[in-house]
Amino acid sequence: MIDPFGRTVSYLRVSVTDRCDFRCVYCMAEDMSFLPKADLLTLEELERLCAAFIRLGVNKLRLTGGEPLVRRGVMGLIGRLGARLGQGLEELTLTTNGSQLAAHVAGLKAAGVKRINVSLDTLDERKFTAITRWGRLPQVLEGLEAAQAAGVRVKINMVALKGVNDDEFSAMLAWCGARGFDLCLIETMPMGEVAHREETHLPLDGVRRALARDWGLSASAHATGGPARYWDVAETGTRIGFITPLSSHFCDDCNRVRLTCTGTLYMCLGQADAADLRAPLRGSADDAALEQAVRAAIARKPKGHAFDISRPAVARHMSVTGG
C-alpha cells in the first residue's frame, strides 16, 4: 500500500483495548471514561482485520493500548497472529507497561514475539507511583527480569518529563545498559487534555548533548522504520533513541497506521481524520469491501502532524491510539 506521498505503509499498530491498570499523568486524565465494552471489536474481528492488512502488504504488527495485556483473551489473539509469522507477517511485537509481563512473557515468546517495548519513566518507586498514579514499580521490574530471563529483547520507553525524571536519564541509561536493554526517550505529545503537560514538556536535543558529555554516543545505522533516531552507546554496547515529534518532525518516513479496538483506523497519530473499518468488517463475510475500505483510507493518509504543546492536537488521549 502506497500513500499519496509515496510512502509504503507496512506497519500496523493495533490498540486492543483503551483500558489500562495505570493512569499515567501525561497519557490519561485521572477520571478517564472508557468505551463501553459493547463497542469493542471481538478478538476474532481484530484478527480478521489484521489478516486483511497483512494480505495488503503489512509485514509488522504491534499490539498496544491502553494496556494490551489487560484485555481478556489477548494471549489467544497473540498466538493466532504469531501463527502468521513467515506468511506475510515478519514481525509481531508489543508495547506494554510491564505490569502483567511476568505472567505472560513465556506465552509471548512461544507466539514468536522476539522483542517488546516496556514503558518505564523512572527507577524511583515514589516517582513511579506519582507518574503512573496506580502502578507498582516492583511488579514492572519483575516483568522485566522475566523478559530478560526468557531471552525476549527489551527496549525501555521513557517519556522525558521536565522537573520529574530529568535527573535520571544517565542513571536509566546505565541501568538499561547493564541489562542489555535499549532505551528510547520520548517527548510528550499533546494528545487529549491532561494537566501540567506544557510545564513538563522537555525538548530532547539538549538532553542528548548533555548525555554525550558522559557517554560515548555515536550516530547509529540502526533504524526500525520508526520515528526514533538512534545512537550507539560505546560503554554498554546498547543503543539510545530519541523520539522528538515536537522539536523535529519525523513524518517524511512514516510507514504506519493505527487501528483502535473499535475498528477505527487513524492514518496519522496527530490528526483527527479516521476511517471506520467496523462497518465494512461487519457488513459482509467477504473481505473485498473491507480491503477496499483500507485502501481508501490509505489514500487519505495526511503528510504529517503539526503538534503544538500548548494545546491538544487531537481530543483523543494516547491510550485510544496506542502511541
Of residues 27 and 49, the one with the C-beta less far from ligand SAM: 27
Closest to ligand SAM by CB, 1 vs 25, is 25
* Largest interatomic CA distance in the chain: 59
For 15-44, letters b (16+ CB in 10 Å) and e give: bbbbbbbbbbbbbbeeebeeeeeeebbebe
CA atoms within 13 A on the CB side of 41: 28
| Nearest approach, Cβ of residue 259 and ligand SAM (Å) | 14
x-or-dash string of contact with ligand SF4, 100-139, rule CB under 6 A: -------------------x--------------------
Q: Give the integer Cα–Cα distance in Å for 244 and 223.
A: 15
Interface with ligand SAM by CB under 6 A: which residues? 20, 26-27, 64-65, 67, 95-97, 119, 157, 159, 186, 188-189, 191, 318-319, 322-323
Output b/e per residue, 155-180; b: 16+ Cβ within 10 A. bbbbbbbeebbeebbeebbeebbeee
Q: Which of 52, 228 has the CB closer to ligand SAM? A: 228
Say which amino acid occupies 74.
V
186 binds, among ligand SF4, ligand SAM, none (CB under 5 to 8 A by kind): ligand SAM
d(CA 256, CA 139): 31
In the beta sheet, which residues pair with residue 89? 85
Signed CA dihedral, 185, 171, 145, 230: sign only: positive
User: Which of 93, 97, 238, 264 is close enough to bind ligand SF4 by CB under 6 A?
Assistant: 97
The yes or no reply on residue 188 touching ligand SF4 (CB under 6 A) is no
Q: Which three cell numbers stand for residue 137?
A: 514499580
Q: What, of ligand SAM, ligand SF4, none, does residue 23 touch, CB below 5 to 8 Å by kind?
A: ligand SF4
Give the one entry of ligand SAM, ligand SF4, none that residue 246 binds, where binding means its C-beta sits below a cut-off of 5 to 8 angstroms depending on kind. Answer: none
Q: Residue with CB nearest ligand SAM?
A: 323
Residue closer to ligand SAM by CB (options 1, 189) is: 189
Is 319 one of the binding residues for ligand SF4 (CB under 6 A)? yes
Q: Which entry of ligand SAM, ligand SF4, none binds 188, CB below 5 to 8 A by partner kind? A: ligand SAM
Q: Give the separation between CA 151 and CA 165, rounded to whole angstroms.
A: 28
Q: How far is the CB of 22 from ligand SAM (least distance, A)?
A: 7
CB of 224 to ligand SAM, least distance (A): 14
Interface of this chain with ligand SF4, residues 54 to 73, rule: CB under 6 A: 65-67
Distance CA 91, CA 62 (A): 8
Crossing angle of the two packed helices 125-132 and 137-150, in degrees rounded to 10: 100
Return the number of the residue (117 or 238) whose C-beta is nearest ligand SAM: 117
Considering only 9, 12, 16, 28, the residue that binds ligand SF4 (CB under 6 A) is 28
Among 12, 16, 27, 228, binds ligand SF4 (CB under 6 A): 27
Helix (H) or strand (E) holding 266: strand 264-266
- Please tell me the number of Cα atoms within 13 Å of 85 on its side-chain side: 17
CA-nearest of 120, 76, 74 to 99 is 120
Q: Which does 157 bind (CB under 5 to 8 A by kind): ligand SF4, ligand SAM, none?
A: ligand SAM
Binding site for ligand SF4 (CB under 6 A): 20, 22-24, 27-28, 65-67, 97, 119, 318-319
